Amino acid sequence: MSTAPATAAIPGYLAGTWRADPDRCEVAFSLRYLTFGTARGRFTGCDATIVTREEPRASAVTATVDVASIDTGNEKRDKHLRSADYLDAENHPTMSYRSTGIRRSADGWTVDGELTLHGVTRQVPLAVEPDGFGPGPSGGQQAGFTATARIDRRDFGITARTDGGGVLVGNKVSIRLLVRAALVR
């Protein structure tokens, strides 16, 4: 077992409280569509706070995403996805994530946490890669993170079907997060 500190694997690591820059964050998703293609989209409204501790495993993250900010490049489809058939943005305007632990994994880091979507909370681990810490182009310190996860939409009560009863969209949703944050304290 290595005696090197966990921070040695993270270039420029800094402890502190970081606030995500909403203009430089992406919450993207993809899933199978009509059994022959892939549907892709993103949410443009995201608020996240990351608290990095001297010991990275003691760090934490919280995030909230505006469900109505969904953007697939097709307004008609986006309106349908906001409806009660899918995300039900009127009754569930946000989804949120709260970390419950951070651990080293074979490929880097895993953030264990709870995702609340469509009024349902489930454990969802995020495979996280710290992109680095350092001075930002406008001054101040910045940090970047990339994270991925995969969920089953049915676990969150999202079970829309076509009029004929066939599956319109796949069940497995791949999620990719790109987060750029500024040190606030």
pLDDT, tens digit (0-9, with 9 covering 90-100), for 153-179: 999 999 865 555 555 778 899 999 999
pLDDT tens-digit map of 44-80: 999 999 999 999 999 999 999 999 999 999 999 999 9
Q: How wide is the angle at C-alpha 99 spanned by C-alphas 152 and 157, nearest 5°?
A: 25
CA-based end-to-end distance of the chain: 33
Q: According to CATH, what is the number of the domain 6-183?
A: 2.40.128.110
Q: What is the pLDDT of residue 185?
A: 86
Query: How is the chain split into domains, by residue range?
Result: 6-183
> Up-side HSE of residue 72: CA atoms within 13 Å toward CB?
18
